[in-house]
A and B are shown apart, each in its own frame.
Chain A
Amino acid sequence: MLAAKKLEFVEELAVNTGVPLVSYKQVSKSFGDIKVIRELDFEVSPGEKVAIIGPSGSGKTTLIRLLMTLEEPTSGVIEINGEPLWHKEAKGKLVKADEKHLHKMRGQIGMVFQQFNLFPHMTVLRNCIEAPVKVLGMSRKDAEVRAKAMLEKVGLGNKLDSYPAQLSGGQQQRVAIARALVMRPKVMLFDEPTSALDPELVGEVLDVIREIAAEGEMAMILVTHEMDFAKDVADRIVFTDGGKIVEQGPPKEVFENPKSERLQAFLKRMR
């Protein structure tokens, strides 16, 4: 009896390790008449770093906003660890999930925004401890320890009591990265994290992201226009155009030997 149970458990483990962390199955998203994502299939393995590149309007930002539950897919299913994100199983059928389910699932995802979106009425430290205390239920003390460590990592250990308005754009984005890291997500989404920055501030943010990527265990999906950076950081490059994945593969292959015409044209323009 016990042995049977144990075997079941081992089997379950084996199955789980084969499951991708994130999986999009025939996902579409329309805004009114405009189809932004078209029947897209996409997977991310645990710990994998994926960079999404493509012309503006190709749906790459929408792609990750669907995963952060900021936009609802028009059709298709997104799964995290094999569990539907936007849906729930009821009587063998998938139905739209309630807020409680979304809340549970969202805990595995973190996001860094183009416009930083720090809370302007909170200090840097409070920006980073509010969610761990209120959402994860950590003690204030523990949350502060964790937040300070993250802020130290992004090089802002000396700005704990500053307000966002007192920081440069690059510093604000680094706080936003620390704020998302404190929640320890399994997958972190970056929505063009350097697009709103002045050119001389881009480097400091990319360096921080590189450092986090090098640490390994957290999966990352980066939407970016920084091709060199994508080449460095990503295990896989995904090129989207017209709401579909046109081409994907290891950075070397995608950048040096692009197969599709559209990717060739895109890379030419980026240079």
Chain B
Amino acid sequence: MNIWDWNYAMEVFPVIFKAMWTTLSATIVAFGLAMILGLGLAVLRRSSFKPLTWLVIGVSEFIRATPPLVQLFFVFYVLPFFGISLSPFVAGTLALGVHYSTYCAEIYRSGINSVPRGQWEAATALNFTSSQKWTKVILPQAIPPIIPMLGNYLISMFKDTPILSAITVVEMLQTAKIAGSGSFRYLEPFTIVGLLFLLLSYPSALLINRLEVKLNRRKVVKKEKNSKHKGVAA
């Protein structure tokens, strides 16, 4: 018997490929949640109402300091005791999304902090309301530079989706495991899962790298222009 069985590989490939959609949709839903929730956390953390700030910091630290798998189990197995029963997919994306939202919040925060104080002051002087300051002035400047960093977390989360198999979400890894336990051959299905992950995440990483280079170049051009201007003056 060969170590690698092409016939068997061809047989399981379509099944695993089909499960990839579950993996992808879980990634997209969870990341969407992480981005929205993360932004909320980052904005709330700047609140002038201190207890709220402390609450946000405390909750974020707690979530980041505990393993996502524990959170996943908690949401799926413990919440039903409190009358909240969620399907595996919903529980999984919720837990993953909340976990990653705390990391996204840190990235948003770095972007927000890099907007100069003068921008806030000009917005105050023009009498913008608090929400107008955020949506018109601060976030449009804070977000573009952090898009590559958010992208890195997207890939990282994508690679974390196999933990959803622990609460019976039938994504790629779970599908491969089921296929393997039926035939007692694990090499082919797991290899295919690995390759599919590689195939999706590597080009995405390259894309993000290029985006990062492009954004940096734009920044450099802007700076050069300013310094050139000063140079001429001096």
Contact = CB atoms under 8 A, between A and B. Distances in A.
Given A113-B118, A117-B121, A179 B126 contact: yes
A56 interface: no
A131 interface: yes
Interface string B119-154: 101101111111010001100110000000000000
A56 to B, nearest CB: 18
A135 B229 CA distance: 34
- The secondary-structure label for the interface of chain B is helix
Contacts, number: 67
Contacts of A130: 126, 136
Given A165-B225, A200-B233, A115 B132 contact: no
A68 interface: yes
Q: Classify chain A: how many residues form its interface, as a range.
A: 20 to 34
A119 B230 contact: no
Interface string A68-91: 111000000000000000000000
A135 B226 contact: no
A106 interface: yes
B222 interface: yes
Contacts of A120: 141
B229 A168 contact: yes
Interface string B12-54: 0000000000000000000000000000000000000000000
A135 B124 contact: no
Contacts of B141: 119-121
B127 A165 contact: no
Contact of B119 (A107, A110, A117, A169): A117
B125 A111 contact: yes
Interface of B: 116, 118-119, 121-122, 124-130, 132, 136-137, 140-141, 222, 225-226, 229-230, 233-234
